[in-house]
Copies of this chain bind each other. A is one copy, B any other.
Amino acid sequence: MADKKLVEAITSMNEDFAQWYTDVVKKAELIDYSNVKGCMVVKPAGYAIWELIQRQLDDMFKATGVENVYMPMFIPESLLQKEKDHVEGFAPEVAWVTHGGLSPLQERMCVRPTSETLFCDFYKGDIHSYRDLPKVYNQWCSVVRWEKETRPFLRSREFLWQEGHTAHATAAEAEARTEQMLNIYADFCEQVLAIPVVKGRKTDKEKFAGAESTYSIEALMHDGKALQSGTSHNFGDGFAKAFDIQYTDKDNTLKYVYQTSWGMSTRIIGAIIMVHGDDSGLVLPPKVAPTQVMIIPIQQRKEGVLEKAMELKEELREFRVKIDDSDKSPGWKFSEQEMRGIPIRIEIGPKDIEAGKCVICRRDTREKIEVGLDDLKDKVSEILKNIQQDMLDRAAKHREEHTYQAANKEEFVKIFKQKTGFVKAMWCGERECEETIKEDMSVTSRCMPLNQEHIADTCVYCGKPAKKMVYWGKAY
């Protein structure tokens, strides 16, 4: 019992969600703080999740013709400054390299906060003719943004991500790619991470520095706050003009290319934690669980128990399966498996073996299921599928229950006083009004959803004629 308590000593979600998050991140051994301020150490249990994300998202990218490349991590200051809005957005939060070895650099360089400028500089030299288009490149790398406040996965000075950068012959093709990647992110979140998302367009105030339009997917966390989980930007020909990226078209005239960029980062691991986790720790969707099945032998010193456990492991080898045969107590092992969010636990002891069965315990529902040993592989496969689907359904239900709508200011204010969640409401389209809402209520526009609904004729806050329906919320 004392053992069990040790493992379970995390703050309750309802008591203090922020502390619960930090506890889970530490106790599930996903990350550790480092002595480099604002930078984290991603430990094996955390990095293995990222590897599963990478592998599956990368496969989805490649199926649409994406090719991976690697660009330098440094950006000379003059290059960063080429696009006006872009440098204004990023210069205040970059890390500057001023010395190489013992000598000062002739021009200082920043560590990439994002690589639009590097890709543009490269495309300028690499694109000559319409035959060279489209370019659909992506890189997996780390980036640096000098944040003041940091939180594991959600906001750190260095984080891992992928950034796609494309160049196209026409504006329409660039817009199509922007939307295609947004859809891939949304599908990936729903099908792989069991996280339902709202797809939408950012307001001008919230869009990416230098973009013509920014699309994002927005997910709702267990505490009712929103997390922007992936973005896809259409740059039009803005960067192409700033960097002079032109191609000779079939009609033999010079034209500017149209560009996009899109990214998803380790931040998404924060979403997995905050959408699916509970008071016993992490709950991982089977598709990104580094260990899907943990076999825990009961009375493992009794003859035949460990042997049987090894047999089951061998039989289940098509899944990611482990045995915990350490000398800890079964109770401790159960708690550890729960804390780490391993989807299925198999308990097998002498009595089970005698009866030709074992007990499967689902991490997400805690349901215990007796399964005949002959039937085990099929059952595990079926239960993993059920867990994946049920987790998505529960998250969708939670989001539905925490999505409200407001027709006027009174309703809007009242909802945000009482609840935390998405609020759908109309907006006049003016930046000032959006800024007033943020100042008054600490609420921001999450996105203008692609699926627009008509809730009222007038802006929820200022009463002017409405232009767009917007998802509003408090955000990470």
Binding site for B on A (CB under 8 A): 32, 34-36, 39-44, 47-48, 50-51, 67-76, 79, 92-102, 109, 111, 118, 121-122, 125-126, 137, 141-142, 144, 146, 157-158, 160
Of B39, B102, B121, the residue contacting A72 (CB under 8 A) is B39
A-B contact pairs, 22 of them (CB 8 A): A32-B122, A34-B71, A34-B72, A34-B121, A35-B76, A36-B74, A36-B109, A36-B118, A39-B73, A40-B72, A41-B71, A41-B122, A47-B68, A70-B160, A73-B73, A73-B142, A74-B95, A92-B102, A96-B97, A96-B98, A98-B98, A111-B111
Of B40, B41, B100, B146, the residue contacting A100 (CB under 8 A) is B146
Contact (A68, B44) CB under 8 Å given A32-B126, A36-B109: yes
**Complex: how many Å from CA A35 to CA B76?**
8
Residues from chain B with Cβ under 8 Å of A79 in the complex: 35
Identity of the chain B residue whose Cβ is nearest the Cβ of A107 in the assembled complex = B37
Residues from chain B with Cβ under 8 Å of A97 in the complex: 95-98, 111
The reply to whether B41 and A70 contact each other, CB–CB distance below 8 Å, is yes
Identity of the chain B residue whose Cβ is nearest the Cβ of A109 in the assembled complex = B36
The reply to whether B34 and A122 contact each other, CB–CB distance below 8 Å, is yes
Identity of the chain B residue whose Cβ is nearest the Cβ of A327 in the assembled complex = B131
Residues from chain B with Cβ under 8 Å of A74 in the complex: 36, 39, 95, 158
Given A47-B70, A73-B142, 7 other A-B residues pairs in contact with their CB atoms under 8 A: A41-B69, A47-B68, A51-B68, A73-B111, A92-B101, A95-B97, A96-B99
Residues from chain B with Cβ under 8 Å of A102 in the complex: 92
Interface centre among A40, A94, A100, A102, by most B CB within 10 Å? A100
Residues from chain B with Cβ under 8 Å of A118 in the complex: 34, 36
Residues from chain B with Cβ under 8 Å of A96 in the complex: 97-100
Residues from chain B with Cβ under 8 Å of A94 in the complex: 101
Residues from chain B with Cβ under 8 Å of A142 in the complex: 70, 73, 141
**Complex: how many Å from CA A79 to CA B34?**
12
Smallest CB–CB gap between A237 and chain B, Å? 21
Contact (A35, B121) CB under 8 Å given A99-B98, A102-B92: yes
**Complex: how many Å from CA A144 to CA B102?**
14
**Complex: how many Å from CA A32 to CA B126?**
9
Interface centre among A76, A141, A146, by most B CB within 10 Å? A146
The reply to whether A125 and B32 contact each other, CB–CB distance below 8 Å, is yes
Residues from chain B with Cβ under 8 Å of A76 in the complex: 35-36
The reply to whether B36 and A146 contact each other, CB–CB distance below 8 Å, is no
Residues from chain B with Cβ under 8 Å of A72 in the complex: 34, 36, 39-41, 158
Smallest CB–CB gap between A416 and chain B, Å? 32
**Complex: how many Å from CA A144 to CA B72?**
10
